[in-house]
Every structure is written in structure tokens, then in C-alpha cells.
Structure 1
Amino acid sequence: MQTYWGIDLGGTKIEGAILSAPSPDAVVIRKRIATEADKGYEHIISQVARLVDMLKAETGYQPDRIGFGTPGTFDPRLKVMKGSNTTSMNGRNMPLDLEKALGTAVAIANDANCFALAEATLGAVPEVAPDYRCVFGVIMGTGVGGGVVFRGHDGVPFVQNGLQGIGGEWGHNILEENGYSCYCGKQGCNEQVFSGPALQRFYKDISGDERNLKEILARHEAGTDPYASQTIDRLLEYFGRAISTIINFMDPDAIVLGGGVGNIDLLYTEGVERAKKYVFNNGVIDTHILKPKLGDSAGVFGAAML
């Protein structure tokens, strides 16, 4: 039987899944174990091998290929990982090391690309744009990122990793000159404007109070806190600017908003209205701006679809 194997390799947990068909309803097994990243790179590889052995033992299936969603990206020129917050992965040829440890061919992509691929193939997009040619997946949470999926001439979707492995890296475009400093070395990146921590930092800077984003949103909706309203207005305005750049240079059929900030309903109404001011299309946006459908399954399902 044809099976689809995916591993979502996170900083705290590793999740594996086997699908019997490319469908969210075809899960044979899902299993999680701790990453134990503090024990080093070789231990992470051994944990992956342990999880794969568990999946084999419990199902009796053998993989022909395994897809991996990872933090950071694999640079296809330098043959090393880069930009991972699990820092021990950086500078290592993870695909080669995984293939040696598992005795199986692997495919690897950034976790945001896996999110985009999952929602494009199994999630929100097929319901509204089944004949899509391009989908952009946005992550707006603790960090900000993105992934790009195209449908090839053969009808098969593929992730656009790019020449340097940075395809879809939307989170680190400069949005606000002289804004908050980012670990990437720039200031005012998308991530430092409307990620959850950046919005909370902005609120604290203007109000003197420390509140989480859920509280800030509730205070804005209640109309009781002008600082909260200023923070949410900042989110909507800068989201509109940032999302317009995706539409202008890619014109995707759909954009799916993932991550905790992506749960804010105002993004799909007022946020889209703000974007209309900046889109080079006479104020018209026909792009589907969608909530994700797969929840925390997106990472492992997208890895399997690789």
C-alpha cells in the first residue's frame, strides 16, 4: 500500500504521522516524542530514528521516503541548515545525516513551507480554489514567516524553496524604518512589527503596562483602552501593507494565515480593507484570504505531502 510519511521536527517535540492517502481523514498513526534538543544535534537525529522505528513497529509499514518539516532552512548550495532556532542544526547537512540514520530517502522543507503545502493540498484552499496555481502560507505568531506553493504543469503541487533556500521568507522584509531590532540583524522586519511579542512590546512601550495579546484585543474590542486600540490599529495597518506586497509580486490564488496572531478576526475584514489601499489593482482584492483548516496537524501533514 502507498503510504505518506511526515515528520514535524520542532524544538520541543518531534511528531510523526503516516497517511494511507493524501487526505486528512487517512491518518494511520500519529505519534510524538520529546526532541531533547539540549542534548545536541546527534541526539536529535537519534530521536528521529527512534520515532521512525516506533512508527514502523506499530504499523508494520516501511517508508520509501520521509518528508521533514524543520525550523530554519536547508541551503541547497552550501548543503547546510541555517536560520534555525534549534541552533545545533545550523551548519549541518541534515538531509544527508537523516538519510544515513534512517536508511531512507528524505525530503526537507521549512515548517512554514510545510504549513503552506498542507493547507494548499489538504486544508482550506481546495474548498475555495481547487484549481489554484499559487498559494502563500503566512505564519503570524511568536515569529513571522511564510511559504510558497505552486502547482506544476503536471498538476502536482511543489514548495518553492528557492535558489538559496529562502523562498517565502516574508518575515524578514523591512516594514518599518528604524523599528525594533531583529535577531536577523535588521530593524523593523515584519516579525518585529506584528508578531505577538512585537505587538505586546509596542503596547507596553506606549502604555507602561504589560499585557498579552489576548487581553490587548479584548480591551480594544471593549473600547476601554486607547493604547490597546492603537496597538490593534498598528497591527491592521502594517498587516495591510505587508500582505499587499505578497499580492503585488505574486498575485496568489489564496493566502492562508496561520499562527496565533492569524486567529484575530479583524485581519480578514479590516486588515484586508487596509491592504486594498496598497494593492496595485485599483483597490480590488480577489485573493482568498483564509483561516487555516488543519490546526496543529498542518506541519506534519505538509511534511508528508513533500
Structure 2
Amino acid sequence: MSEAPKPRVVAGEAVAALDIGGTKTAAAIVTRHGEVVDRVTAATPGRAGATAILDTAADLVDRLRARATGTHIRALGVGSAGVVDHRTGRVLSATDVLAGWAGTDLSGRLRELLGLPVAVINDVHAHALGEARHGVAAGYETTLFIAVGTGIGASFVVGGTVLAGAHSAAGHAGHQPSPYAGQLPCTCGGQGHLEAIASGPGLTEEYVRRTGQPVDDLRAVAARAADGDATAREVVLLGGAAVGSAVGGLINMLDPGAVVVGGGVTGLGEPWWQALRDAVRRETLPSLDDVPVLASTLGSDAPLIGAASLAWEGIA
């Protein structure tokens, strides 16, 4: 478990926030203005089941509350992996990385454990809210957020509200067909989807297919590209172009005020970003050429800030 070494005590009111992911769970205390004043993290016990995951999350919040002297924690906002019913706070489906997570009454069980009002949303939607309300997209009426990491997700924010969809499943951008993916198998069971070629694991596997050389992860591919490996550079550019092509199509459909791109794969650097932006411009209609494509500025705090903003909304 890790934590901020010197939490800043804030007198008055604040909310707690949770970001529950497949490998890590983070908790924070957040002000009404979106300022993270304290945070702690722990490994998510994903294989141990829902009870262990919830106990870990609740323990993190309790740790923060114990040292938030003079601060009244009003509510809890949660961004969670999986498809989450934003109306009930129940997890509708999840990958097997979080064993037994599907069907969990996330809102109800955390309310029982912590005695706080709880607002729950999917983690990608929480990230989008953070950037739209307090980050690089603040001030835009509509924001399309794209997260490119182990998977590829999206969120569309209109007037500060996420459009979660009729089945709370909006945003599976990685599972749209991509011409760059060919017939590659996707983690969802389909073929030829964007995630199969442009996610972190997808790009790593593409490098192995092209070279026959095993690599540990995308960081190793990025290091080889930086060292002059031509194939590694081609793979980096491919990833950016594939995401950019998809983003361009989404811009044509949604006409957002701004696009924000975040996630671990964005760390591939300027060559990846340039390939993405070039592909966006090749795909977008002339009248949409000026839609800005921005890098996420809040980083790993974004889902915490977004989830906290939902908690504040519920008690405003």
C-alpha cells in the first residue's frame, strides 16, 4: 500500500472518492473545487472476489477519514471498472480480472461499510467527468474522452453530464471495427476491433508478430523505438494512426467541442501523438478540422476528481 507522504488538512467539508481498477484501487479526499488534498492506494485483490475488493476500498477511505482532522466527509464518489448501472450503482458486467464483480451492488455495499451517501459510475466515465469539469476540457459544452491503455474506452460528456447509454454500456470504443486490425481476435470474442491492434497489449503483440522477438510489454517496445528499432517505431505509429482514425470517425458522428485523449499508451510520446492527429485530420469532415485534440492533464487523479464531482452533485 502506498500513500501521499504529507496530506494537507482541510477544515470544513470534502468528499471521498474511489477509483477501483483491475490492478490498483485509489482513494482520495477532494474539495468542491476538484482539488485532491490527500490520497492512498493499494493493490486490488481482484482474484479474491467482490468482498475482498470492497473491504480494501473501504479500508482506504477509512484511512483517509482518520487523518482528515477537522474535515467533514460528506459523501463518496466511485469510479469502477466494469459496466456500471449509473442509476442503481450495480455492476452489470466485468472481466474476470475482477472475480465475482458482476452483479455487485457497489453503491449499497459501500454505503453499508462506510455510512456515506454513494454515487457510482464507470471509471472511464469518471475520468471523462474529471477532465470535463476540472481539467483540460473545462469550458467546453461537449467533450469526447478516449482512454487508451490495456483496453480502449470512451465517454461523451454533454453539459457536464455523461451520456451512459440506454444500457449503461456506452463508450466501448475499443470494440468498433478498425481497418488496421484486419481479422485479429479481440478480447471480447470478436475480430478486427480497434482494441486488438491499438491497445497496449495489442501493440506489444503486433511487435512480436512482426519480429518474432518476445518483449515484456509496451514499455519495452517504446524503449526499442527510442533506440532506433525501425519496426518498433512502425508499431508505435500504427497505434497512433489506428486510434486517430477511430477518433476522426467519432468526431464526424458526435461533433464534440473538444477531444481529450488519456491512458497509459499516450506515454509513447510525440511520434504516437503526431500519427494520431494526422489520422484524425484525414478522417474528419472539413467543417470539423478545428476540433481540438487534447492530452489529458489530470492523469491518474482524473477518475477520482470526476467521481468526487458526482458525489458533490448529489449533496449540492
Pick the TM interval, shorter chain: 0.7 to 0.9
Q: Compared with structure 1, are the counterparts of its residues 68 and 76 closer, same or farther at alpha carbon in structure 2 (3 Å cutoff)?
A: closer
Q: Compared with structure 1, are the counterparts of its residues 28 and 214 closer, same or farther at alpha carbon in structure 2 (3 Å cutoff)?
A: closer
Once residues 12 and 222 of structure 1 are traced to their aligned partners in structure 2, the CA distance between those partners, rounded to angstroms, is 30
Correspondence 1:55 to 2:25: no
Q: Which amino acid is 1:279 matched to? A: T
| 1:65-144 alignment runs, 5 A limit | 65-75=75-85, 79-84=90-95, 85-126=97-138, 130=139, 132-144=140-152
Q: Point out the more displaced range, 89-98 or 207-216.
A: 207-216
Counterpart position of 1:289: 293
Residue identity over aligned pairs, in percent, reads 30
Once residues 221 and 11 of structure 1 are traced to their aligned partners in structure 2, the CA distance between those partners, rounded to angstroms, is 29
Q: Which amino acid is 1:46 matched to? A: D
Q: Compared with structure 1, are the counterparts of its residues 80 and 34 closer, same or farther at alpha carbon in structure 2 (3 Å cutoff)?
A: closer
Once residues 33 and 267 of structure 1 are traced to their aligned partners in structure 2, the CA distance between those partners, rounded to angstroms, is 31
Instruction: Give yes or no for contact 2:208–2:214 (8 Å, CA) kept in 1.
Output: yes
Instruction: Give yes or no for contact 2:13–2:74 (8 Å, CA) kept in 1.
Output: no
Q: Compared with structure 1, are the counterparts of its residues 6 and 208 closer, same or farther at alpha carbon in structure 2 (3 Å cutoff)?
A: same
Instruction: Give yes or no for contact 1:243–1:275 (8 Å, CA) kept in 2.
Output: yes
- Counterpart of 1:88 in 2: which secondary structure? coil
Taking structure 1 as the reference length, the TM-score comes to: 0.85
Q: Compared with structure 1, are the counterparts of its residues 122 and 20 closer, same or farther at alpha carbon in structure 2 (3 Å cutoff)?
A: same
| 1:1-306 alignment runs, 5 A limit | 1-24=12-35, 27-60=36-69, 61-75=71-85, 79-84=90-95, 85-126=97-138, 130=139, 132-151=140-159, 157-176=160-179, 178-211=182-215, 212-217=217-222, 220=225, 224-225=229-230, 227-263=231-267, 264-281=269-286, 285-306=289-310
Identify unmatched segments of 5+ residues in structure 2: 1-11, 311-316
- Counterpart of 1:115 in 2: which secondary structure? helix
The alignment yields a C-alpha RMSD, in angstroms, of 2.5
Q: Which amino acid is 1:43 matched to? A: A
Deviation at 1:297, TM superposition (A): 1.5
Deviation at 1:192, TM superposition (A): 0.6
Identify unmatched segments of 5+ residues in structure 1: 152-156
Taking structure 2 as the reference length, the TM-score comes to: 0.83
Q: Which amino acid is 1:137 matched to? A: F
- Counterpart of 2:283 in 1: which secondary structure? coil
Q: Which amino acid is 2:150 matched to? A: T
Deviation at 1:195, TM superposition (A): 0.8
Q: Compared with structure 1, are the counterparts of its residues 4 and 47 closer, same or farther at alpha carbon in structure 2 (3 Å cutoff)?
A: same
Number of residue pairs matched by the alignment:
293
Once residues 58 and 204 of structure 2 are traced to their aligned partners in structure 1, the CA distance between those partners, rounded to angstroms, is 39
Once residues 235 and 295 of structure 1 are traced to their aligned partners in structure 2, the CA distance between those partners, rounded to angstroms, is 20
Q: Compared with structure 1, are the counterparts of its residues 99 and 230 closer, same or farther at alpha carbon in structure 2 (3 Å cutoff)?
A: same
Once residues 152 and 294 of structure 2 are traced to their aligned partners in structure 1, the CA distance between those partners, rounded to angstroms, is 17
Once residues 94 and 244 of structure 2 are traced to their aligned partners in structure 1, the CA distance between those partners, rounded to angstroms, is 26
Q: Compared with structure 1, are the counterparts of its residues 59 and 285 closer, same or farther at alpha carbon in structure 2 (3 Å cutoff)?
A: same
- Counterpart of 2:73 in 1: which secondary structure? coil
